[in-house]
Amino acid sequence: MYHLVFSADENYIKYTSVLITSIILNTDKNKKIQDFDKNSNIKNEKYFFHILSNFVSDKTREKLLNLQNALNEIFPCKIIIHIKNDEDFENFPTSGAAHSLKLPYYRLRLSSIFDESIKKCLYLDSDMLCMCDIRELFSINLKDKIVGVVGDPGSKKSKIKFKENDKKKIFYFDENYFNSGLLLINLEEYKKHSIEQKCEELASKCYYIKAADQDLLNATIHYKHQLKLDFAYNFSTIAFCYVICKDENKNRLNYTRNEFNKSIKNPKILHYGEKPWRFLKSYFDYKGTNINEYWWDMAIKTPIFNEELLKSKKNITNHLLCAGLGRELFNAALKFNFPKIKFLIKNTSNDEKYMQRAESIEDDFFGICCILGIAISYARSHKKNLFSVYLKALKMIYNFKKYHFRSRI
């Protein structure tokens, strides 16, 4: 038996269904777990998909049951819903990734859904796409490690601020900071080390936290209790644009450039930053394929939910607006054109024109334009000044030119 856990609210379940479908369709029915792990004693090869949510309507429950029945024809599986309440997480701060709801924290209590007979589970974020036989991960022997994790590609200069005995303290993260989008959990060790209790205890003391559950898990699971997995198993898609490896800066991705180059040639699980249901186009992979097409190809194959997903696809234009704005910012930043940057932030009158221009942006350039355009959108909604946008843009443009993967392989 293979137990997989997801967190999804009512709206996100349709995206979770695509991930679940990708896991089923990438399972090789001609292979057994023993082909991945000769010492495995698993006989009942069946997937149990656990969805943690705050609410699931009767209509969506029926859809999930029909999805289960359709996928069960391909490979044995069962979908199980677990309802949690935000009130159960009142000690957890509402900030950063958990600014609007407490759903990101739900995974911190996933062990409560399993009895003692279940020794291992795999948590996956719903904005992922499986491109391998997921049994590869279940065949990994965690031994006495608490969790198998993949390093996060972002900066490791973040921190948690908390109070203890009326004194302000700071927990600084280091190069071992991992991304909580994928967690291969040794449930025995997870419970033995009281990880959930430690997370809640720390959360109750926090007055500043940015990445919600991810920060808490990094603060409570020491590096010696982690098994570092290949970056390919949680391939953050921004890395298709650019990535800074540890042999270039120790505070960034904790993999060497050589290790990264192997992963980018064969990513096993994609973790989307620019969500395919909001961006029809973003980055292009090693083969020159728009990575969002992989997700939409799977959405078409997803039983029950495919019609709903494809209907929404017709109205998606966010990728064009962001890329169009981003190209304007790229040019303005390099020319120190501050009036233009200010205009991009304050004025939306030319957005339609920028969207039209985005159609002609070269593939390799499209991703960085999207990121820069997102910076403009953020500045508009959060009333940021032009100099903060300018400095951020310069940094991103510099990193793109120096670390874009096609120039590093």
In eight-state DSSP terms, residue 284 is B
This prediction has a pTM of 0.96
Give buried/exposed letters for 324-356 (b at 16+ CB in 10 A, else e): bbbbbbbebbeeebeebbbebbeeeeeeeebbe
What mean pLDDT comes out for the span 280-289? 96
3-state secondary structure of 274: coil
Domain formed by 2-309, architecture: Alpha-Beta Complex (3.90)
Amino acid in position 369: C
End-to-end Cα spacing for the chain: 39
Residue 157 burial (C-beta neighbours within 10 Å; 0-12, 13-18, 19+): exposed
Give yes or no for a contact between 97 and 210, defined as CB atoms under 8 angstroms apart.
yes
Q: What is the mean pLDDT of the chain?
A: 94
pLDDT, residue 38, reads 87
Query: What pLDDT score does 407 carry?
Result: 55
Q: What is the mean pLDDT of residues 27-31?
A: 95
* Nearest C-alpha neighbor of 4 from the set 42, 48, 34, 41: 48
- Does the pLDDT value for residue 98 go beyond 60? no
- DSSP H helical ranges for 195-270: 195-203, 213-220, 257-265
- Average of pLDDT values for 171-179? 94
User: Tens digit of pLDDT for each residue in 43-81?
Assistant: 889 999 999 999 999 999 999 999 999 999 999 999 999
Confidence of residue 41 (pLDDT cuts 50, 70, 90): confident
Numbers of helices and strands, H then E, in the chain:
14, 13
Residue for token digits 């990101």?
104
User: Residue 405: how many CB atoms within 10 A of its CB?
Assistant: 20
- CA 285, 74, 277, 5 torsion: positive or negative? negative
Query: What pLDDT does 406 receive?
Result: 65
Q: Provide the residue ranges of all domains of the chain, joining segments of one domain with +.
A: 2-309, 317-407
**Whole-number percent of the chain with pLDDT over 90:** 86
